[in-house]
Amino acid sequence: MLVVAAISFHIVAPSIVEVVGSWPRVSSVAPEWLIVIVACEVLSFASAITLQRIALRTSAWFAVATSQLAGNAMSQVVPGGAAAGATLQLRLLGQAGADTTTAISGFTAFSLLQTASILFLPVLTLPTILAGAGVDRGLAQTAFLGIAGFVAVAGLGALLLTTDPLLVGIARLIEVVRKTVLRKRPATTDLPARLVGERNSIREVLGERWREALVATACRLGFDFLALFAALAAVGGLPKPSLALLAYTTATLLAMVPITPGGLGLVEAGLTGTLALAGVKPAQAVLATLLYRLASYWLPILAGPVAYTLFRRRYR
């Protein structure tokens, strides 16, 4: 992973240098816009924490919020960090008294909801593309790719939530891998039954609170997109909302690729490029990307150690 990340950084280094090099121009942005951008990201993270509370079936705020911020920071600083961040959050929640199996199944539901919602974004721009609006071919291809991904993820989620064979097969594979890797520990045989039971519980919870889960998912992505839109407005480079949404979708999909930490470099290169395709001037696209990434990537990394320290003080 480190070698792949190093090669990727070498490829996207010009984009990182270009975006970071526009740092002095941040002083030309009105402070009011900076406040709006950060506020949108704070609301986006609050929505993600709310969604996790629903998936984890808990009313606790402090443990979920601090562990989520700490896990997110971890996922943003190591290659393939999603697994490391989830592991850290799982360990913290365990120290706070959460059941491990419940937490794992909750994370699965949370991840499926987040991925499906991201891949659903291009569907919202489909009418614009079909209407023959001036959409760049690359952006249109991104939209169709996202739609195909949404269909695949939605189908997988439907299978996991409504049928047992796939879930049982995954559980048995996990048991085999665990037995092979951790030979000195006792083998587990009840994981399939436990996961099916937890899946049924989550299905019941989401069935009862599906409206809350839907609103939280929409707010998480909506406020994150508004942060980018506010960054574009701050630099005077607002494109059509549908084109801005396509550029945002591209950046979000790139951030999910586990090559560099948090998509660092990939997102900067992809977002500046797609914003240019959407009609934003290159200089404006670079500065807007910097403002957006400061609020969505760098500030949450700084918040992670603070959240971790607060958690450790609360749960010694």
The model's confidence at residue 133, banded by pLDDT at 50, 70 and 90, is low
Per-residue pLDDT, 303:
94
Per-residue pLDDT, 70:
94
63-112: pLDDT as tens digits: 999 999 999 999 888 877 778 888 898 899 888 888 777 777 777 777 77
pLDDT greater at residue 97 or residue 126: 97
Burial of residue 97 (CB within 10 Å: 0-12, 13-18, 19+) is exposed
Per-residue pLDDT, 311:
93
- CB–CB of 222/270 below 8 Å? no
Provide CB contacts within 8 A for 36, sequence distance 6+: 230, 234
Task: Give the least confident one: 30-39, 59-68, 94-103, 109-118.
Answer: 109-118
Is a pLDDT exceeding 70 seen at residue 175? yes
Distance, CA of 104 to CA of 98 (rounded, Å) = 10
CA distances, 152 to each of 115, 156, 220 (Å)? 11, 6, 22
- CB–CB of 266/257 below 8 Å? yes
Is a pLDDT exceeding 80 seen at residue 290? yes
